[in-house]
Amino acid sequence: MKTHWLFGNGPNKSLEFNIEIDKETNCTSCIHNEVCHRMMDTLCNNYLFGASDCRDQHGCSSCSHRYTRFDKDEVPCFTCKKFKENA
């Protein structure tokens, strides 16, 4: 169970992920990188809509986990449903 000191829920500060990961998907090594539409709401396994920043309604900025990725105690969350390693 991943936790975050500020954005976690409940007394144990847990984060709600569909899939817990230790390393995020590296888009640059994916065969879809050149044609990917980057709509994270449909691509990310852990996307959880949180409307506090909707300038980009389909990207990471509208996800509840966005701040946990870049905090000093970062918690990786992005894992792509369509990732295929570039051979």
Per-residue pLDDT of the chain (87 residues; tens, 9 = 90+): 899 888 889 999 999 899 999 999 999 999 999 999 989 889 999 998 886 666 677 888 888 888 888 788 889 999 999 999 987
Domain assignments of the chain as residue spans, ordered by start: 1-87
- Report d(CA 39, CA 33) in Å as an integer: 12
User: pTM to 2 decimals?
Assistant: 0.83
Residue 53: predicted pLDDT: 60
Residue 51: predicted pLDDT: 65
| Token pair listed for 58 | 């389909």
- Do 54 and 63 meet the contact criterion of CB atoms below 8 Å apart? no
Residue 38: predicted pLDDT: 87
CB atoms inside a 10 Å sphere around CB 66: 19
